[in-house]
Amino acid sequence: MFTSNFQFPSSPVLTPPREEEIFAAAPTGPTTNDDGTTMKFEVSTHLSPEEVIEKAEAYYTERTGLEVSERGDNRLEFSGPIGNAVIKAHRSHGHTVVHAETDRGVGLDVTDQTLRFLYTIPHI
């Protein structure tokens, strides 16, 4: 009879993700419209809406090659060869809610850059 000292490794311990990992840049889309795929994301931060917009303008113009195509109250639209993005920020329940929308699915384009931007914002 064959015997072995082999033992199966113990099962990995699964730990639930931290709350900030669940809600950090949580997609609220994708949705499909007549123009194609739109990806929507939302995060909350302690930064003011003005600070978020300043950070967005610096990030997109310095790192993505996108240019500001439209500007409004706590709102910026960017456009360029990799796609279009809209960043909006408003105060709600004592914190700032940041909405981001892109015109492309996930990939090495404006959606990827938008996710990277959202991770530069401190989340609550």
Residue 109's nearest CA partner among 80, 88, 71 is 80
The model's pLDDT over 15-58, given as tens digits with 9 standing for 90+, comes to 444 444 444 455 454 444 445 678 999 999 999 999 999 999 99
Between 52 and 124, the more confident residue is 52
Structure confidence by residue, pLDDT tens digits, 49-97: 999 999 999 999 999 989 999 999 999 999 999 999 999 999 999 999 9
pLDDT digits 0-9 by tens, 104-120:
876 768 999 999 999 99
The pLDDT assigned to 15 comes to: 45
Domains of the chain: 41-118 (3.30.310.80)
Instruction: Please give the angle made by the CA atoms of 61, 86 and 59, to the nearest 5 degrees.
Output: 25
Rounded CA separation 86/114 (Å): 9
Task: Please give the pLDDT value at position 37.
Answer: 77
pLDDT value of residue 1: 54
Place of tokens 């007549």: 34
DSSP state of 109: T
How many Å apart are CA 67 and CA 57, to the nearest integer? 9
pLDDT at res. 83: 92
Q: Confirm whether pTM is higher than 0.85.
A: no
| R_g of the chain computed on alpha carbons | 20
14, amino acid identity: L
Position 28 scores a pLDDT of 52
Q: How big is the CA angle at 47 (ends 46 and 53), to the nearest 5 degrees?
A: 145
